[in-house]
Amino acid sequence: FYVGLFIAPFLLIAAATGILYALTPQIEQLVYDKELHVSAPASTETVPLAQQIEAAQSQVTDGTVAEIRPPKDAESTTRVTFDSPSAREDRQLTAFVDPYTGEVTGVLNTFEEWLPLRTWCDDLHRNLHLGDAGRWYSEVAASWLWVLALSGLIIWITRKVRTRSARAYLLPQHKGPQRQRSISLHATIGVWAAIGLFFLSATGLTWSQFAGGNFSALRQSLDWSTPYLSSEATTTTQVAEEEVPATTQSVFDVARAEGLGDPVAITPSTDGGAWVVSQVQRSWPLKQDSMAFDPASGAVVESVQFADWPVAGKLAEAGISFHMGILFGWPNQLLLIAIAGAIITLIVIGYRMWWRRRPKPPRTGLPTALGRRVDTAAAYGILIAIAAVVGLALPLLGATLVAFVALDLARRLLGTRHSTD
Protein backbone atom coordinates (compact mmCIF):
# COMPACT_ATOMS: atom_id res chain seq x y z
CA PHE A 1 0.00 0.00 0.00
CA TYR A 2 2.73 2.46 0.95
CA VAL A 3 4.57 1.76 -2.28
CA GLY A 4 1.43 2.23 -4.35
CA LEU A 5 0.56 5.45 -2.54
CA PHE A 6 3.96 7.14 -2.41
CA ILE A 7 5.95 5.62 -5.31
CA ALA A 8 3.19 5.71 -7.92
CA PRO A 9 3.63 9.49 -8.53
CA PHE A 10 7.28 8.86 -9.43
CA LEU A 11 6.23 6.09 -11.81
CA LEU A 12 3.57 8.34 -13.30
CA ILE A 13 6.13 11.05 -14.05
CA ALA A 14 8.62 8.53 -15.44
CA ALA A 15 5.98 7.00 -17.73
CA ALA A 16 4.72 10.36 -19.02
CA THR A 17 8.22 11.73 -19.69
CA GLY A 18 9.18 8.37 -21.21
CA ILE A 19 6.37 8.69 -23.76
CA LEU A 20 7.63 12.16 -24.67
CA TYR A 21 11.17 10.84 -25.07
CA ALA A 22 9.99 7.94 -27.25
CA LEU A 23 8.43 10.43 -29.68
CA THR A 24 11.54 12.59 -30.08
CA PRO A 25 13.07 10.86 -33.16
CA GLN A 26 10.17 11.92 -35.39
CA ILE A 27 9.87 15.35 -33.80
CA GLU A 28 13.60 15.97 -34.27
CA GLN A 29 13.37 15.19 -37.96
CA LEU A 30 10.92 18.09 -38.27
CA VAL A 31 12.50 20.54 -35.85
CA TYR A 32 16.06 20.07 -37.16
CA ASP A 33 15.24 19.33 -40.78
CA LYS A 34 17.68 21.99 -42.04
CA GLU A 35 20.56 20.64 -39.97
CA LEU A 36 19.91 16.91 -40.48
CA HIS A 37 18.96 16.70 -44.14
CA VAL A 38 20.53 17.85 -47.37
CA SER A 39 18.68 19.75 -50.04
CA ALA A 40 18.16 17.99 -53.36
CA PRO A 41 21.76 17.46 -54.56
CA ALA A 42 22.72 18.72 -58.00
CA SER A 43 24.88 15.61 -58.44
CA THR A 44 25.74 12.42 -56.62
CA GLU A 45 29.35 13.53 -56.10
CA THR A 46 30.30 14.64 -52.58
CA VAL A 47 33.11 16.97 -51.62
CA PRO A 48 36.06 15.38 -49.76
CA LEU A 49 35.51 14.77 -46.05
CA ALA A 50 38.55 16.91 -45.27
CA GLN A 51 36.92 19.89 -46.99
CA GLN A 52 33.72 19.36 -45.00
CA ILE A 53 35.68 19.40 -41.73
CA GLU A 54 37.45 22.60 -42.78
CA ALA A 55 34.06 24.21 -43.44
CA ALA A 56 32.94 23.20 -39.94
CA GLN A 57 36.14 24.61 -38.41
CA SER A 58 35.49 27.91 -40.12
CA GLN A 59 32.18 28.14 -38.24
CA VAL A 60 33.44 26.98 -34.82
CA THR A 61 36.70 28.89 -34.65
CA ASP A 62 37.35 28.38 -30.91
CA GLY A 63 36.81 24.62 -30.82
CA THR A 64 38.89 21.47 -31.16
CA VAL A 65 37.48 18.62 -33.20
CA ALA A 66 36.22 15.83 -30.90
CA GLU A 67 34.33 13.60 -33.33
CA ILE A 68 33.36 13.33 -36.98
CA ARG A 69 30.34 11.40 -38.23
CA PRO A 70 30.14 11.08 -42.02
CA PRO A 71 26.57 10.96 -43.40
CA LYS A 72 24.80 7.67 -42.71
CA ASP A 73 22.84 7.83 -45.98
CA ALA A 74 22.44 9.93 -49.12
CA GLU A 75 19.98 12.34 -47.43
CA SER A 76 21.97 13.04 -44.26
CA THR A 77 24.51 15.71 -43.38
CA THR A 78 27.99 15.23 -41.96
CA ARG A 79 28.40 15.98 -38.24
CA VAL A 80 31.58 17.56 -36.88
CA THR A 81 31.54 17.88 -33.09
CA PHE A 82 33.80 20.29 -31.19
CA ASP A 83 34.90 20.79 -27.62
CA SER A 84 34.35 24.51 -27.36
CA PRO A 85 34.15 27.11 -24.59
CA SER A 86 31.23 28.61 -26.50
CA ALA A 87 29.12 25.50 -25.87
CA ARG A 88 26.69 25.29 -22.97
CA GLU A 89 27.86 23.60 -19.77
CA ASP A 90 28.32 19.83 -20.26
CA ARG A 91 27.62 20.24 -23.97
CA GLN A 92 29.58 20.35 -27.22
CA LEU A 93 29.04 22.24 -30.45
CA THR A 94 28.18 20.21 -33.54
CA ALA A 95 28.38 21.70 -37.03
CA PHE A 96 26.24 20.05 -39.72
CA VAL A 97 27.72 20.08 -43.22
CA ASP A 98 26.04 19.36 -46.55
CA PRO A 99 28.35 16.69 -48.06
CA TYR A 100 27.40 17.68 -51.62
CA THR A 101 28.12 21.41 -51.31
CA GLY A 102 30.47 21.57 -48.34
CA GLU A 103 28.28 24.28 -46.76
CA VAL A 104 27.48 24.35 -43.03
CA THR A 105 23.71 24.06 -42.56
CA GLY A 106 23.71 24.81 -38.82
CA VAL A 107 25.52 24.61 -35.48
CA LEU A 108 23.81 23.15 -32.38
CA ASN A 109 24.64 22.44 -28.76
CA THR A 110 24.73 18.65 -28.44
CA PHE A 111 25.34 16.02 -25.78
CA GLU A 112 27.34 13.23 -27.36
CA GLU A 113 25.20 12.31 -30.40
CA TRP A 114 21.96 13.78 -29.05
CA LEU A 115 20.48 17.01 -30.38
CA PRO A 116 19.05 19.70 -28.05
CA LEU A 117 15.45 18.42 -28.12
CA ARG A 118 16.31 14.84 -27.25
CA THR A 119 18.83 16.00 -24.65
CA TRP A 120 16.14 18.15 -23.01
CA CYS A 121 13.62 15.27 -23.03
CA ASP A 122 16.26 12.85 -21.74
CA ASP A 123 17.14 15.15 -18.82
CA LEU A 124 13.43 15.58 -18.06
CA HIS A 125 12.88 11.82 -17.99
CA ARG A 126 16.07 11.06 -16.09
CA ASN A 127 16.35 13.84 -13.52
CA LEU A 128 13.58 16.44 -14.10
CA HIS A 129 16.34 18.96 -14.96
CA LEU A 130 17.44 18.89 -11.30
CA GLY A 131 20.89 17.38 -11.82
CA ASP A 132 22.15 14.47 -9.75
CA ALA A 133 19.57 15.04 -7.00
CA GLY A 134 16.81 14.67 -9.57
CA ARG A 135 18.11 11.25 -10.58
CA TRP A 136 16.85 9.89 -7.26
CA TYR A 137 13.24 10.07 -8.48
CA SER A 138 13.87 7.90 -11.55
CA GLU A 139 15.98 5.41 -9.58
CA VAL A 140 13.27 5.06 -6.93
CA ALA A 141 10.71 4.48 -9.69
CA ALA A 142 12.85 1.88 -11.48
CA SER A 143 13.76 0.17 -8.21
CA TRP A 144 10.15 -0.37 -7.18
CA LEU A 145 8.62 -1.03 -10.61
CA TRP A 146 9.67 -4.68 -10.73
CA VAL A 147 8.53 -5.19 -7.12
CA LEU A 148 5.07 -3.83 -7.88
CA ALA A 149 4.82 -5.92 -11.05
CA LEU A 150 5.95 -9.11 -9.31
CA SER A 151 3.76 -8.66 -6.24
CA GLY A 152 0.77 -7.82 -8.43
CA LEU A 153 1.27 -11.00 -10.46
CA ILE A 154 1.56 -13.11 -7.30
CA ILE A 155 -1.61 -11.63 -5.81
CA TRP A 156 -3.58 -12.09 -9.02
CA ILE A 157 -2.36 -15.63 -9.71
CA THR A 158 -3.05 -16.82 -6.15
CA ARG A 159 -6.48 -15.24 -6.27
CA LYS A 160 -7.38 -16.93 -9.55
CA VAL A 161 -5.59 -20.23 -9.09
CA ARG A 162 -8.82 -22.04 -8.23
CA THR A 163 -10.50 -21.10 -11.51
CA ARG A 164 -7.79 -22.74 -13.65
CA SER A 165 -9.00 -20.64 -16.56
CA ALA A 166 -6.70 -18.72 -18.88
CA ARG A 167 -9.49 -16.22 -19.47
CA ALA A 168 -9.60 -15.36 -15.77
CA TYR A 169 -5.92 -14.38 -15.91
CA LEU A 170 -5.79 -12.65 -19.28
CA LEU A 171 -9.17 -10.99 -19.88
CA PRO A 172 -11.02 -8.46 -17.70
CA GLN A 173 -14.26 -9.31 -15.95
CA HIS A 174 -17.33 -7.61 -17.43
CA LYS A 175 -19.94 -8.67 -14.87
CA GLY A 176 -20.31 -8.23 -11.14
CA PRO A 177 -19.80 -5.28 -8.78
CA GLN A 178 -17.90 -2.28 -10.07
CA ARG A 179 -15.01 -2.82 -7.67
CA GLN A 180 -14.54 -6.39 -8.86
CA ARG A 181 -14.53 -5.21 -12.47
CA SER A 182 -11.98 -2.51 -11.64
CA ILE A 183 -9.75 -5.03 -9.89
CA SER A 184 -10.03 -7.39 -12.86
CA LEU A 185 -9.17 -4.62 -15.35
CA HIS A 186 -6.24 -3.44 -13.21
CA ALA A 187 -4.87 -6.97 -12.91
CA THR A 188 -5.37 -7.88 -16.56
CA ILE A 189 -3.47 -4.82 -17.76
CA GLY A 190 -0.70 -5.67 -15.30
CA VAL A 191 -0.46 -9.27 -16.55
CA TRP A 192 -0.16 -8.22 -20.19
CA ALA A 193 2.37 -5.48 -19.40
CA ALA A 194 4.40 -7.46 -16.83
CA ILE A 195 7.28 -8.47 -19.10
CA GLY A 196 7.65 -4.90 -20.33
CA LEU A 197 7.57 -3.58 -16.75
CA PHE A 198 10.34 -5.96 -15.67
CA PHE A 199 12.39 -4.99 -18.72
CA LEU A 200 12.02 -1.23 -18.21
CA SER A 201 12.92 -1.61 -14.55
CA ALA A 202 16.06 -3.65 -15.28
CA THR A 203 17.34 -1.46 -18.11
CA GLY A 204 16.48 1.73 -16.26
CA LEU A 205 18.47 0.62 -13.23
CA THR A 206 21.60 0.11 -15.33
CA TRP A 207 21.68 3.91 -15.86
CA SER A 208 20.81 4.81 -12.28
CA GLN A 209 23.07 6.71 -9.93
CA PHE A 210 23.54 4.13 -7.17
CA ALA A 211 22.24 0.77 -8.38
CA GLY A 212 23.83 1.39 -11.77
CA GLY A 213 27.26 1.58 -10.14
CA ASN A 214 26.63 -1.73 -8.40
CA PHE A 215 25.60 -3.37 -11.67
CA SER A 216 28.72 -2.04 -13.38
CA ALA A 217 30.91 -3.40 -10.61
CA LEU A 218 29.20 -6.79 -10.86
CA ARG A 219 29.70 -6.91 -14.63
CA GLN A 220 33.37 -6.05 -14.24
CA SER A 221 33.89 -8.73 -11.60
CA LEU A 222 32.29 -11.32 -13.92
CA ASP A 223 34.20 -10.04 -16.97
CA TRP A 224 30.92 -9.00 -18.62
CA SER A 225 31.99 -5.44 -19.33
CA THR A 226 31.47 -4.00 -22.77
CA PRO A 227 34.86 -3.69 -24.53
CA TYR A 228 35.47 -0.26 -26.02
CA LEU A 229 38.54 1.18 -27.66
CA SER A 230 39.91 4.57 -26.76
CA SER A 231 42.64 6.88 -27.98
CA GLU A 232 44.79 5.88 -25.00
CA ALA A 233 46.61 3.40 -27.23
CA THR A 234 49.77 5.39 -27.95
CA THR A 235 51.36 5.86 -31.34
CA THR A 236 54.43 7.72 -32.47
CA THR A 237 52.57 10.50 -34.24
CA GLN A 238 51.21 13.77 -32.93
CA VAL A 239 48.69 15.54 -35.16
CA ALA A 240 48.24 19.30 -35.02
CA GLU A 241 44.70 20.69 -35.00
CA GLU A 242 45.14 22.14 -38.49
CA GLU A 243 46.10 18.68 -39.75
CA VAL A 244 42.91 17.04 -38.46
CA PRO A 245 40.88 17.39 -41.71
CA ALA A 246 43.48 15.71 -43.93
CA THR A 247 44.31 13.03 -41.35
CA THR A 248 40.61 12.28 -40.85
CA GLN A 249 40.25 11.73 -44.57
CA SER A 250 43.14 9.25 -44.68
CA VAL A 251 42.01 7.37 -41.52
CA PHE A 252 38.47 7.20 -42.85
CA ASP A 253 39.65 5.76 -46.16
CA VAL A 254 41.70 3.10 -44.37
CA ALA A 255 38.75 2.23 -42.12
CA ARG A 256 36.60 1.73 -45.21
CA ALA A 257 39.21 -0.57 -46.68
CA GLU A 258 39.27 -2.51 -43.40
CA GLY A 259 35.54 -3.14 -43.68
CA LEU A 260 34.07 -0.60 -41.25
CA GLY A 261 30.84 0.37 -42.97
CA ASP A 262 28.44 3.22 -42.21
CA PRO A 263 27.46 4.61 -39.85
CA VAL A 264 30.74 5.35 -38.13
CA ALA A 265 32.16 7.91 -35.72
CA ILE A 266 35.79 9.03 -36.00
CA THR A 267 37.50 10.17 -32.79
CA PRO A 268 40.75 12.05 -33.51
CA SER A 269 43.70 12.45 -31.17
CA THR A 270 46.21 15.29 -31.26
CA ASP A 271 48.40 14.16 -28.34
CA GLY A 272 50.04 11.08 -29.84
CA GLY A 273 47.16 8.69 -29.21
CA ALA A 274 45.51 6.37 -31.70
CA TRP A 275 42.57 7.49 -33.80
CA VAL A 276 39.44 5.41 -33.18
CA VAL A 277 36.81 4.63 -35.80
CA SER A 278 33.69 2.97 -34.37
CA GLN A 279 30.48 1.76 -35.92
CA VAL A 280 27.54 3.43 -34.19
CA GLN A 281 24.46 1.65 -35.50
CA ARG A 282 22.26 0.90 -32.48
CA SER A 283 19.25 -0.27 -34.46
CA TRP A 284 18.88 -3.90 -35.48
CA PRO A 285 21.18 -5.38 -36.66
CA LEU A 286 23.58 -3.76 -34.25
CA LYS A 287 26.90 -2.59 -35.71
CA GLN A 288 29.48 -1.91 -33.00
CA ASP A 289 32.84 -2.95 -34.48
CA SER A 290 35.69 -0.54 -33.77
CA MET A 291 39.35 -0.09 -34.73
CA ALA A 292 42.22 2.07 -33.49
CA PHE A 293 44.62 3.43 -36.13
CA ASP A 294 48.05 4.99 -36.20
CA PRO A 295 47.21 8.26 -38.02
CA ALA A 296 50.58 8.39 -39.79
CA SER A 297 50.89 4.89 -41.17
CA GLY A 298 47.23 3.88 -41.20
CA ALA A 299 48.14 0.66 -39.41
CA VAL A 300 45.52 -0.96 -37.21
CA VAL A 301 46.76 -0.67 -33.61
CA GLU A 302 43.88 -2.53 -32.02
CA SER A 303 40.39 -3.72 -32.94
CA VAL A 304 37.26 -4.98 -31.21
CA GLN A 305 34.60 -6.91 -33.09
CA PHE A 306 31.02 -6.87 -31.86
CA ALA A 307 30.88 -10.62 -32.48
CA ASP A 308 33.57 -11.05 -29.80
CA TRP A 309 31.70 -9.08 -27.12
CA PRO A 310 30.55 -11.12 -24.10
CA VAL A 311 26.91 -12.15 -24.26
CA ALA A 312 26.09 -9.89 -21.33
CA GLY A 313 27.60 -6.93 -23.15
CA LYS A 314 25.56 -7.63 -26.28
CA LEU A 315 22.37 -8.00 -24.27
CA ALA A 316 23.08 -4.78 -22.37
CA GLU A 317 23.67 -2.85 -25.61
CA ALA A 318 20.49 -4.23 -27.18
CA GLY A 319 18.49 -3.65 -23.98
CA ILE A 320 19.56 -0.04 -23.67
CA SER A 321 18.75 0.59 -27.34
CA PHE A 322 15.31 -0.94 -26.82
CA HIS A 323 14.73 1.21 -23.72
CA MET A 324 15.58 4.27 -25.84
CA GLY A 325 13.16 3.19 -28.59
CA ILE A 326 15.77 2.87 -31.36
CA LEU A 327 16.39 -0.88 -31.61
CA PHE A 328 13.50 -1.69 -33.97
CA GLY A 329 12.48 1.76 -35.12
CA TRP A 330 8.85 2.86 -34.85
CA PRO A 331 7.53 -0.57 -33.66
CA ASN A 332 9.93 -0.23 -30.73
CA GLN A 333 8.59 3.25 -30.03
CA LEU A 334 4.97 2.11 -30.15
CA LEU A 335 5.69 -0.75 -27.75
CA LEU A 336 7.37 1.60 -25.28
CA ILE A 337 4.45 4.01 -25.51
CA ALA A 338 2.03 1.12 -24.90
CA ILE A 339 3.96 -0.04 -21.81
CA ALA A 340 4.18 3.49 -20.43
CA GLY A 341 0.48 3.96 -21.14
CA ALA A 342 -0.23 0.75 -19.21
CA ILE A 343 1.72 2.12 -16.22
CA ILE A 344 -0.31 5.33 -16.26
CA THR A 345 -3.59 3.40 -16.56
CA LEU A 346 -2.66 1.05 -13.71
CA ILE A 347 -1.86 4.00 -11.46
CA VAL A 348 -5.07 5.84 -12.28
CA ILE A 349 -7.22 2.74 -11.68
CA GLY A 350 -5.34 1.97 -8.46
CA TYR A 351 -5.82 5.46 -7.04
CA ARG A 352 -9.48 5.42 -8.10
CA MET A 353 -10.13 2.14 -6.28
CA TRP A 354 -8.41 3.43 -3.15
CA TRP A 355 -10.28 6.73 -3.23
CA ARG A 356 -13.68 5.04 -3.57
CA ARG A 357 -12.98 2.76 -0.60
CA ARG A 358 -10.95 5.15 1.52
CA PRO A 359 -11.87 5.00 5.24
CA LYS A 360 -13.96 7.93 6.41
CA PRO A 361 -12.78 10.22 9.21
CA PRO A 362 -11.67 9.92 11.94
CA ARG A 363 -9.86 6.93 10.44
CA THR A 364 -7.11 7.48 7.92
CA GLY A 365 -6.68 6.00 4.48
CA LEU A 366 -3.54 4.17 5.55
CA PRO A 367 -3.47 0.37 5.86
CA THR A 368 -4.11 -1.69 8.95
CA ALA A 369 -0.97 -2.23 11.02
CA LEU A 370 0.82 -5.48 10.35
CA GLY A 371 0.63 -6.52 13.99
CA ARG A 372 -3.11 -7.09 13.84
CA ARG A 373 -2.72 -9.97 11.42
CA VAL A 374 0.71 -11.45 12.05
CA ASP A 375 3.30 -11.45 14.77
CA THR A 376 4.61 -7.88 14.81
CA ALA A 377 8.21 -8.61 15.75
CA ALA A 378 8.52 -11.34 13.13
CA ALA A 379 6.94 -9.21 10.41
CA TYR A 380 9.14 -6.19 11.03
CA GLY A 381 12.20 -8.39 11.45
CA ILE A 382 11.60 -9.94 8.04
CA LEU A 383 11.07 -6.53 6.43
CA ILE A 384 14.22 -5.09 7.97
CA ALA A 385 16.23 -8.13 6.83
CA ILE A 386 14.87 -7.76 3.29
CA ALA A 387 15.67 -4.05 3.32
CA ALA A 388 19.24 -4.79 4.40
CA VAL A 389 19.76 -7.34 1.61
CA VAL A 390 18.19 -5.39 -1.25
CA GLY A 391 19.74 -2.19 0.03
CA LEU A 392 23.15 -3.53 -0.93
CA ALA A 393 22.15 -3.88 -4.59
CA LEU A 394 19.36 -1.29 -4.81
CA PRO A 395 20.17 1.37 -2.20
CA LEU A 396 17.18 3.62 -2.79
CA LEU A 397 14.75 0.69 -2.69
CA GLY A 398 16.24 -0.38 0.63
CA ALA A 399 16.16 3.18 2.01
CA THR A 400 12.52 3.76 1.06
CA LEU A 401 11.53 0.35 2.41
CA VAL A 402 13.13 1.25 5.75
CA ALA A 403 11.20 4.54 5.65
CA PHE A 404 7.93 2.69 5.07
CA VAL A 405 8.66 0.31 7.94
CA ALA A 406 9.46 3.29 10.19
CA LEU A 407 6.24 5.00 9.13
CA ASP A 408 4.20 1.91 9.92
CA LEU A 409 5.92 1.49 13.29
CA ALA A 410 5.22 5.14 14.13
CA ARG A 411 1.56 4.73 13.20
CA ARG A 412 1.33 1.62 15.35
CA LEU A 413 2.93 3.32 18.35
CA LEU A 414 0.69 6.37 18.00
CA GLY A 415 -2.34 4.14 17.65
CA THR A 416 -1.38 2.20 20.80
CA ARG A 417 -0.81 5.43 22.73
CA HIS A 418 -4.18 6.88 21.71
CA SER A 419 -5.96 3.66 22.65
CA THR A 420 -4.49 3.79 26.21
CA ASP A 421 -5.29 7.49 26.77
Domain match, 263 and 159 both? no
User: Do 324 and 393 belong to one domain?
Assistant: no
| Reported pTM | 0.88
314-336 confidence digits (pLDDT tens): 998 999 999 999 999 999 999 99
Q: Are residues 20 and 120 in the same domain?
A: yes
Of the residues 309, 340, 366, the one at which a domain ends: 309
Indicate whether 364 belongs to any domain. Answer: no
Both 256 and 399 in one domain: the answer is no
Residue 235 located in a structural domain: no
Q: How many CA atoms lie within 13 A of 52 on its CB side?
A: 25
Q: Is residue 52 scored above 60 in pLDDT?
A: yes
Say if residue 371's pLDDT is above 50. no
The pLDDT tens digits of the residues spanning 110-150 come to 999 999 999 999 999 999 999 988 999 999 999 999 999 99
Say whether both 24 and 121 belong to one domain. Answer: yes
Q: Give the containing element (helix H, strand E) for 78.
A: strand 78-83
Among residues 114, 133, 151, which one ends one of the domains?
114
Output the average pLDDT for the chain: 88
Question: Residue 231 falls within a domain, yes or no?
Answer: no
Is the predicted pLDDT of residue 58 greater than 90, yes or no?
A: yes
pLDDT digits (tens, 9 = 90+) for 206-217: 889 889 888 888
Torsion, Cα 351 352 358 364, to 10 degrees, reads 30
Q: Are residues 39 and 137 in the same domain?
A: no
**Percent of the residues in the chain that have a pLDDT greater than 90, as a whole number:** 61
Say which residue, 238 or 132, is predicted with more confidence. 132
Number of domains in the chain: 4
CATH number, residue 50:
3.10.450
CB 90 within 8 A of CB 131: no
Please, are residues 325 and 284 in contact by the beta-carbon 8 Å criterion? no
Q: How far apart are CA 14 and CA 17, in angstroms?
A: 5
For residue 255, give the DSSP letter. Answer: H
- What is the model's pLDDT at position 390? 80
**419 shares a domain with 301:** no
Decide if 222 is inside a domain: no
Domain that holds residue 196: 1-32+115-211+312-357
Tell me: pLDDT of 227 over 50. yes
> With pLDDT > 70 as the criterion, what percentage of the chain qualifies?
90
Three-state secondary-structure class, residue 300: strand
